Amino acid sequence: MTPAARLQAAIDVLSAIEKSAKPADSVAASYYRDRRYIGAKDRRAVAEVVWRVLRRRARLDWWLQTFGHTEIDARSRVLADMALEGIQPDPDLFRGPHSAWAPEPEERRFMERMLELKSPFHRDMPPHVRSEYPEWIEPRLTALFGETLGEEMGAMRDEAPLDLRVNALKATREQAIAALAAEKIRAEPTALSPLGLRLASRLPLVQIQAWRDGLIEVQDEGSQLVALIVGAKPGMAVVDYCAGAGGKTLALAAAMANKGRLVACDVASWRVDRAGDRLRRAGVHNVTRRVIEGESDKWIKRSAGSFDRVLVDAPCTGTGTWRRNPDAKWQLGESDLLELIVRQRDILTSAARLVRPGGRLIHATCSLMTEENEAQVEAFLAAHPDYRQVPVEEVWAETIGTSCPVPGPHLRLTPLRHHTDGFFASVLERAAG
């Protein structure tokens, strides 16, 4: 592809992402599926532009407006990004079939101004522009982070590292490090999860033999910690209530050493189906996958009071994963948050029925929002006097055994403080009866 063709592809992908409700990576994947002639090198170059634009969209828009450009769209963002990268709108770039694509005089004007900038930041940028989050969410984030808001959201703006979880069914962390080293891949142990590895650079998974052999899985360190504090043990009966494609199911199965009963539920059958290959690759065989109809599902009624651990990894705003999914922040609206709060409450109430006396219910999200987290737990405890909250320090000592890095009753992780995605988890124990 010519440089101009790559830029046009980036514009096309960004436009498709804006129009779609699907995550950016699946929109991009379907764009390439329809254009098999685009090779891996070109895809990488296009993806670099797309992700950079998504990551600094608020700042690009701010500069475009500041330089008087009001019709902001994927094309003007890509041109602005190009200028911020110091790439001149050189006529040679747009020769031949791409001549019609050359920037218009108006576009050249803002590009020239942007080419003179020394930094993508400006002291007059409001905090939500500087730290790249939607303005409507600011009061909530300010209430949560106070004076550290800028730093916290600055850490959320940066690209996340690639974290792996060692599959304890197949390898120790040392064995996995050695297997990766044999493939010339350097992996460092993570600071908090005893099963975690962090890679210095991103790699396509399918090229990693250790991944094909099921020794490792991709999982953010925060997500690993959530799975660990569930405290699933061999021989227990455990439910992963919102299992999706099985990210935490795999970790729970490994914690159970494949012994005992693990039920992975979800309302989305396509997600549950996707877990199949992952479970097989990881050598997991104590999992039953179950598509449920929702809170009125008969299986839930029939299974009331029979599980030691029930993990609710609730559908949420995903505000903790913006490092990985920068597109998600531009799609999220306040009405989504309000809808999710109701859904989470219903799910938690339904899942609680499965917990046996003395068993534990774990409410987890990858959200920063207090309404989805602490407030959800408080409302649950008020309505369920037979449950008490187990302080995270206590749970951490029982399950992970190292010193707990978070103060307070809940597990609350952020990229700034813990170098993980933003995660929340709270452990609720049902009275022994």
| Nearest in space to 24 (alpha carbons), one of 333, 329, 327, 332 | 327
Residue closest to ligand SAM (Cβ): 247
Written as one letter, the residue type at 153 is M
> Closer to ligand SAM at the Cβ: 290 or 410?
290
Instruction: Please state, in angstroms and rounded to a whole number, the distance separating the CA atoms of residues 387 and 85.
Output: 55
Contact assessment for residue 169 and residue 254, using Cβ atoms and an 8 Å cutoff: yes
- Under the phi-then-psi rule, with left for phi > 0, alpha for psi from -120 to 50, and beta for the rest, what region is 86? left
Closest CA to 389 of 373, 403, 369: 373
Is 90 annotated as a binding-site member?
A: no
Question: Where are the strands (E) in 167-306, listed by range?
Answer: 187-189, 196-199, 216-218, 237-240, 261-266, 287-291
Q: How many C-beta neighbours within 10 Å does residue 430 have?
A: 19
Nearer to ligand SAM, 8 or 331 (CB): 331
Q: Which is nearer to ligand SAM, 11 or 310 (CB)?
A: 310
CB of 275 to ligand SAM, least distance (A): 9
Cα–Cα distance, 101 to 306 (Å, whole number):
64
Does 386 appear as a known binding residue?
no
Taking the CA atoms of residue 296, residue 299, residue 302 and residue 305 in that order, the dihedral angle to the nearest 10 degrees is -90
CB of 83 to ligand SAM, least distance (A): 38
List residues near ligand SAM by CB under 6 A: 241-245, 247-248, 265-268, 271, 292, 294, 313, 315, 347
Distance CA 49, CA 115 (A): 17
Cα–Cα distance between 147 and 151 in angstroms, integer?
9
CB of 84 to ligand SAM, least distance (A): 34
Orientation angle between helical segments 57-66 and 40-55, nearest 10 degrees: 70
Which of 159, 167, 203 has its CA nearest to residue 184? 203
CA–CA separation, 185 and 289 (whole Å): 34
Q: How far is the CB of 139 from ligand SAM (least distance, A)?
A: 25
Nearer to ligand SAM, 14 or 347 (CB): 347
Q: Identify the CA nearest to 120 among candidates 69, 154, 71.
A: 154
CA–CA distance, 429 with 341 (Å, rounded to integer): 22
DSSP letters of 137-190? GHHHHHHHHGGGHHHHHHHHHSPPPEEEEE-TTT--HHHHHHHHHHTT--EEE-
Q: Which is nearer to ligand SAM, 68 or 294 (CB)?
A: 294
Shortest approach of ligand SAM to residue 247 CB, angstroms?
3
Q: Which is nearer to ligand SAM, 73 or 346 (CB)?
A: 346
CB nearer to ligand SAM: give 148 or 370. 370
For the annotated catalytic residues, the residue numbers are 366
Give 369-405 as a DSSP string: -GGGTHHHHHHHHHH-TTEEEEPHHHHHHHHT-S---
- Would you state the structure tokens that stand for residue 78, as one six-digit string? 């890509």
Query: Shortest gap between Cβ of 289 and ligand SAM (angstroms)?
Result: 12
Nearer to ligand SAM, 243 or 390 (CB): 243
User: Measured from the CB of residue 282, what is the shortest distance to ligand SAM in angstroms?
Assistant: 13
CB of 367 to ligand SAM, least distance (A): 9
Tokens 């598509």 — which residue?
291
Binding-site residues for S-adenosyl-L-methionine, in ranges, read: 266, 313
**Binding-site residues from annotation:** 266, 313
